[in-house]
Structure 1
């Protein structure tokens, strides 16, 4: 029971964008219980969020050695390999995961991501074409499919895929980021030749080259900012309400300046929370 609680806490920390805290929580645990595959998965996830590529690969390999045919272990091994630019290994691990659990769209999405990172958008688009027909309810899958379609010069189909993703999850950060990238790429496309060039440049932007510096994903930072701003908003509203109650029952006199400061704080917290985006 304690193990389950600890892993659940680590998972919650990761969901709130606190990868560093999750990694610190899990590191001594896997030292005591190195056979726990789930803990190694979570450490891999945390280290990927922290851009610790070598550490993520070490954790993913530890899970894979314990569970060489597990789809989840192969998923994280593929993810870590992609970040390092080891594309053949990343694609092989993702393909093996798909064979182990062929009905799981998340695994097919990982395979397509690995192919895009390797500069193989045609393979990614072709591989996802049938999967999307069967699992069109998965917005992450639709976003990756849209990216692959745009990278092979099919912008209208790409936008259609992203539109479906947003219809499922209106606040999907990946879909909105992809749309912004599409708009930026299309701003220079005026004919067939420039469209092909824009598609090639977009495809190149998805590639990961060995030794390439890691660009930290904004999603974790936004999640943490969203979480703290909403906690602050709740506290400010609670204090504002308490002040009103105390003054109503003549327990104390609350200065007008305090009400004004609390209103400003509530407004600021609300604006920050809205800017950070809806939860995923």
Structure 2
């Protein structure tokens, strides 16, 4: 029961974009229970959210060795390999997951993402063409399909697919980001030749080359900022309380200007933490 509660707490932290907190929670747990597959899977996700694919791969491989046919382990193994530019391994792991559970759109989405990262948009679009007919209710899948369509030079179909994602989830951040990227790419397209060039440039932007530093997700950045702000707020409040106690006991004379400075600093840190926490809740 305690293990289930801890994993549920990790899931909640990850869902709110607090990957740093989730990693801190999971690190001693997987140390105590190295045979727990779920702990390693969540650790892989947390490390990817923090922009650390090398450590994510270590965690994903630990989960995969414990559960070599588990689709969740294969999913995170594929994702970690993709972020490191190990595309053959990423595609193989995602394809294996799809074979284990062929009706799961999330796994087909991972396979298509691995193919896009490898510079294979035609394979991604073709692979998703039949899947979206069966799982058109999955917004993430529709966004990836739209990205693949744009990368092979079909911008109208790409916008339609992303539009379907927004119809499913109007606030879908990935869909809105994709539309912005489409608009930027199309700004240079004036004829068939320039459209083909824009599609090629877009496809290239989706590729992950070995050794290229991975882009941090917005949620991970917000999580790190919020964590620093929270810790700063805690320190300022502790100093403020300590100064007040020493002043009250007559052991130290604290000038009023110092109280004002500490209160202002604590208030600023509190505002930053509140804003980042609100942003995570909306994400």
TM beyond 0.5? yes
Task: Give the Cα–Cα distance (whole angstroms) in 2 for the partners of residues 139 and 223 of structure 1.
Answer: 24
Give the C-alpha shift of residue 150 in structure 1: 0.1
Output the aligned Cα RMSD. 2.5
Task: Write the distance in 2 (CA, Å) between the matches of 1:222 and 1:136.
Answer: 31
Between 214-223 and 14-23, report the one with greater CA deviation: 214-223
- Determine whether 1:95 maps to 2:95: yes
User: Would you say the 8 A contact 1:44–1:76 is kept in 2?
Assistant: yes
Match of 1:52 in 2: 52
- Partner of 1:189, secondary structure, is coil
**Aligned equivalents of 2:16 and 2:221: distance in 1?**
9
1:201-254, Cα deviation, whole Å (9 max, x unpaired)? 00000000000011111134457889xxxxxxxxxxxxxxxxxxxxxxxxxxxx
Q: Do 1:37 and 1:67's aligned partners in 2 also have CA atoms closer than 8 Å?
A: yes
Q: Given that residues 19 and 223 in structure 2 are in contact (C-alpha distance below 8 angstroms), is that contact kept between their aligned partners in structure 1?
A: no
Shift of 1:51: 1.1
Structure 2: gaps of 5 or more residues:
227-267
> 1:16, 1:224 within 8 Å by CA — same for their partners in 2?
no
> 1:248-271: CA deviations, max 9, x gaps?
xxxxxxxxxxxxxxxxx9xx99x9
Report whether the alignment pairs 1:134 with 2:134.
yes
Q: For residue 258 of structure 1, what is the aligned residue in structure 2?
A: none
Contact 1:17 / 1:224 at 8 angstroms: preserved in 2? no
Runs of at least 4 residues of structure 1 off by over 6 A? 223-226
For residues 169 and 225 of structure 1, the distance between their equivalents in structure 2, rounded to whole angstroms, comes to 27
Count of matched residue positions in the alignment of Structure 1 and Structure 2 = 242
How far, CA to CA, are the matches of 1:148 and 1:134 in structure 2? 18
Task: Name the residue aligned to 2:65.
Answer: 65
**Where do 1:1-280 residues align within 5 Å?**
1-221=1-221, 276=279, 279=282
Residue 279 (structure 1) shift: 3.4
Distance 2:94 2:112 in 1: 9
In the alignment, the residues of structure 1 paired with residue 211 and residue 159 of structure 2 have an alpha-carbon distance, to the nearest angstrom, of 32
Is the CA contact (8 Å cut-off) linking 1:223 and 1:279 kept in structure 2? no
